[in-house]
Amino acid sequence: MIDSLAPIQMLKCFFISYGREVAAREGQVTMAKVNQQGIAAIQKAIQLISKKWSFPIISQLCYGPIHFNQLKQKFIGVSVTALRETLHHLERHRVIKRQVYSTKPVYIEYSLSNEGREFIRVLLGIRKWSD
């Protein structure tokens, strides 16, 4: 089940199960008592953005849709293969979406999906919390 969840859904799963644990006991909550599925979900979401180029790509897409070659120019040192694999990885996990335009030559544009925008809000919350 966890493999089919988008990152934001994984985080929601974690916090819902965590919230139930808190509500069930009005005392101290330890990570050992938190639902294991919730822990696995949060770990998977963290792994998704910890790939070398994932977070820079997600950050760049916050500014709006962008073409593959424009992304390549933004990130010095990224190979075409690494960029392509990371984009496919993020698309598979529904963080970004890929739009293909039937022009000559074919134009492919990447943007944040709805789930990706929600994921950014979660990341901004984490950033605020860490300040």
The answer to which of 4-8, 47-51, 74-78, 86-90 has the lowest mean pLDDT is: 4-8
Per-residue model confidence (pLDDT) at position 107: 87
Per-residue model confidence (pLDDT) at position 23: 47
List Cβ neighbours of 5 (8 Å cut-off, separation of 6 or more): 13, 41, 44
From the centroid of its chain, how far is CA 40? 15
**What number of other Cβ atoms are within 10 A of residue 96's Cβ?**
24
Q: Could you give the CA distance from residue 23 to residue 99 in angstroms, rounded to a whole number?
A: 43
Please name the amino acid found at residue 88: H
Look at residues 102, 130, 110, 126 and name the one whose alpha carbon lies nearest to residue 15: 126
Mean pLDDT, rounded, of the chain: 78
Q: Which CATH class is domain 51-131?
A: mainly alpha
Q: What is the mean pLDDT of residues 68-89?
A: 93
Buried residues in 15-39 as b, exposed as e (16+ CB within 10 A): eebbeeeeeeeeeeeeeeebeeebe
Residue ranges per structural domain of the chain? 1-49, 51-131
What's the whole-model pTM score?
0.69
